Structure 1
Amino acid sequence: MLFSRKWDPKGKHCFLTGGSSGAGLALAIALAKAGAHVSIVARNQERLQRALEEVEKARKSPEQVFRCYSFPVNTEDGSAAAIKAASEPYGGRCPDAFFLCAGASRPGFFVEQSEDSIKRGMEQTYYAQAFTALAATKAMVKQGIKGKVVFCSSILGYFSMVGYSTYSPGKFALRGLAETLQSEFMLYGIEVHLAMPGTMYTKGYEEENVGKPKITLKLEETDDGARPEHVADVILKGVRNGKFHITVDFIGHVFRASSAGASVRNSYAFDWIYGLIGYVALPVWRKSVDTTVTKHRAEHEEYLRERGLLSS
């Protein structure tokens, strides 16, 4: 590992979903600065154009190609169409690396959910990346491209708490998919990475907080969070260095090491230390979370009554 060659995005065609904002856009800019060709995909054409202008500002050479494409990526057909369109400027050759950042969070209590909202949660958190990965790797395998697939899950793919019943399941599922493909894609020379960032201060985070349960906001009030630019830099560094699980900060490292199971380790020299810290500290932290939730019970009952979800 110490002498392995680092991945260099310079001259590579990098395809990003969720590329019009947040971590997706920040990664697109970071890749542009590193000399990559960049294709960004999202639904909203107006936001895509603004994002493309930001990517253009990071240009390092006149040879770089920057394009944006408006496609839904929550189906295999939509993802395949987006990849086909992005491949056309390269004579049909599919991208070398796929950064899958599409997703959204709409927190709420489980008893407020419906069959549709639970399905929509999986669509926004899991299918929006899984179907792109499916279409991407079919093209890569067919063309013999030994590239990269980078999933963007969340620290809430390691643990969860009140308010995230429609978000965390999909993020846990992404880990299961990435763990499977990390093994399976050794058959094709395709490397898989799984980014697990914590809170990011983005427009999407602001929108998420509008309807977020008060108890969830209470539990998160000490969360420092990070700028998407910092998160993008850490993810790209992890991809360059060949890391499988990529965590952004200290608490992320602790959760990663504590729940590693048989996953590929980042560092045998440090992961056992993070794991030991987690063994001692995480049960204490969890107890404090549970205590806070229990204290919220009376207020929550009143909330349910107001919405007709609890009999008087």
Structure 2
Amino acid sequence: MALGWYWTGALLCVFVAVLAADIMGLFKSQNQFPVEGRTVVVTGGSQGMGKSVAILLAQKGANVVIVARTAKTLEAAIQEISAAAKSPSSQRFRHISADLTSPSAGAQIIAETTSWNNNRPPDIVWNCAGSAHPGLFIDTPIEVLKSQIDTNYLSTAYLAHAALRAWLHPALKSTSSQSSAEPRHLIFTSSIAAFYPIIGYSAYSPSKIAVRALSDTLSQELQLYPASTPVRTHTIYPGTIFTAGLESENLLKPRITKSLEESDGGQTPEEVAAASLKGLERGEESVVTAWLGMAMRAASLGSSKRNGWGILDTIMSWIVSVVMVVVRRDMDGKVRKWGKVHGTEG
């Protein structure tokens, strides 16, 4: 999704701020997301962003477990992922077929991975699975409203719950020793739709906003636990990704939604995966994959934890919050005009 040409000024300000920070060396630090020798679970790993993430992790030396529903696509994907291994003789790869919307799936995935990983739970869990079913709210079947929450939020929550219990629950201390001194990482994948929902995503956006809220809540809740068992949470916020899923979405997408998204260049799964990894390596908790996402995130920071020292995020939020006054007025005007010309066809 995109918000149009009127972001140009805000993006220019963002560029200047980021460039200044980079010159001052604020972004230069050691890798805060090392994965070599660590075991990573990636959901949605058989295609799209998830598969691209898994391939990059393999190239960086990680042991990778991919999870999806269809065994056939999993088998094909694991061949590509293992072929990308940095150290083929020592790295290990596995695929698990599971219905992530089942309440028991999270515990099953963590248990299978732990058994396969020499009785150690995974070091990193990255939720990439998800889908969008666009449409106008009153035209959307009730079962779709539920399935979007199941697919995008509950599937993520189930796996996060199982992972954190394996890492932190007192009853499981005997099996939760870490394979290194590095913190564990719980990674969510939301969407820039969580920053600025637009017409046509009334079923999708709430599910991705829920993911953002869960991540923000856990970021604070995890402060309760001892420093000896550190866990960091992160959320990725991609925009349009060119996948087979997008082609299916576009068949359902209202024309007004397509009109509002015209200026979104989109990214390939490989580009999104690479940008996500770079953000994680910088230590960011809230990772955007393109300039538009950076501006939209700044406009809706609220109480979310800032990246780094928080100075740059705060300055950006001041700038973009002013721009948002114009953005919202302009977007609403376009929708009203569309309605007068085309009616409620979408």
TM-score under structure 2 normalisation? 0.83
- Structure 2 residue 277 is the aligned partner of structure 1 residue 277: no
- Which whole-Å CA distance do the structure 1 matches of 2:144 and 2:31 have between them? 45
- Structure 2 residue 67 is the aligned partner of structure 1 residue 41: yes
Q: In the TM superposition, what whole-angstrom CA distance separates every residue of 1:128-150 from its partner, at most 9, and x where no partner exists?
A: 21111111111122315441100
Length, aligned pairs only: 304
The one-letter code of the counterpart of 1:99 is W
Cα deviation, residue 16, structure 1: 0.5
Query: Which residue pairs with 1:30 in the alignment?
Result: 56
Q: What secondary structure does 1:40 align onto?
A: strand
- Structure 2 residue 97 is the aligned partner of structure 1 residue 97: no
Query: Which residue pairs with 2:280 in the alignment?
Result: 239
Map 1:98-177 to 2 at 5 A: 98-141=125-168, 142=172, 143-145=176-178, 146-177=183-214
Q: What secondary structure does 1:263 align onto?
A: coil
Query: Which residue pairs with 2:84 in the alignment?
Result: 58
Q: What secondary structure does 2:33 align onto?
A: coil
- Which whole-Å CA distance do the structure 2 matches of 1:6 and 1:303 have between them? 48
- Structure 2 residue 306 is the aligned partner of structure 1 residue 296: no
Preserved contact between residue 76 and residue 135 of structure 1 (Cα < 8 Å): no
The one-letter code of the counterpart of 2:258 is L
* Among candidates 27, 36, 45, match of residue 10 of structure 1: 36
Identity over aligned pairs, percent: 35
Query: Which residue pairs with 2:16 in the alignment?
Result: none
Query: Which residue pairs with 1:308 in the alignment?
Result: none
Cα deviation, residue 209, structure 1: 0.7
- Which whole-Å CA distance do the structure 2 matches of 1:201 and 1:280 have between them? 31
Q: After the TM superposition, which of the residue ranges 290-299 and 118-127 deviates more from structure 2?
A: 290-299
Q: In the TM superposition, what whole-angstrom CA distance separates every residue of 1:157-207 from its partner, at most 9, and x where no partner exists?
A: 111011101100011111110011011123141100011111111111111
Cα deviation, residue 109, structure 1: 0.6
* Among candidates 233, 236, 240, match of residue 199 of structure 1: 240
- Which whole-Å CA distance do the structure 2 matches of 1:275 and 1:303 have between them? 35
Query: Which residue pairs with 1:307 in the alignment?
Result: none
- Which whole-Å CA distance do the structure 1 matches of 2:197 and 2:42 have between them? 27
The one-letter code of the counterpart of 2:84 is A
* Among candidates 46, 70, 80, match of residue 20 of structure 1: 46
Query: Which residue pairs with 2:222 in the alignment?
Result: 185
Q: What secondary structure does 2:222 align onto?
A: helix
Query: Which residue pairs with 1:81 in the alignment?
Result: 108
Q: What secondary structure does 2:104 align onto?
A: helix
Q: After the TM superposition, which of the residue ranges 3-12 and 172-181 deviates more from structure 2?
A: 3-12
- Which whole-Å CA distance do the structure 1 matches of 2:339 and 2:302 have between them? 34
> Structure 2: any 5+ residue segments left out of the alignment?
1-25
Query: Which residue pairs with 1:310 in the alignment?
Result: none
Cα deviation, residue 237, structure 1: 1.7
Preserved contact between residue 76 and residue 134 of structure 1 (Cα < 8 Å): no
Moved over 6 A (4+): none
The one-letter code of the counterpart of 1:237 is K
- Bigger relative contact order (CA 8 A; separation at least 6): 2
Preserved contact between residue 195 and residue 235 of structure 1 (Cα < 8 Å): yes
The one-letter code of the counterpart of 1:246 is V
Cα deviation, residue 249, structure 1: 1.5
Q: After the TM superposition, which of the residue ranges 61-70 and 253-262 deviates more from structure 2?
A: 253-262
- Which whole-Å CA distance do the structure 1 matches of 2:107 and 2:69 have between them? 15
TM-aligned CA distance change 1:198 to 1:5, over 3 Å: closer
Cα deviation, residue 295, structure 1: 1.5
The one-letter code of the counterpart of 2:167 is M
> Structure 1: any 5+ residue segments left out of the alignment?
305-312
The one-letter code of the counterpart of 1:288 is D
- Which whole-Å CA distance do the structure 1 matches of 2:233 and 2:62 have between them? 19
Q: After the TM superposition, which of the residue ranges 175-184 and 253-262 deviates more from structure 2?
A: 253-262
Q: What secondary structure does 1:270 align onto?
A: helix
Preserved contact between residue 216 and residue 305 of structure 2 (Cα < 8 Å): no
The one-letter code of the counterpart of 1:289 is M
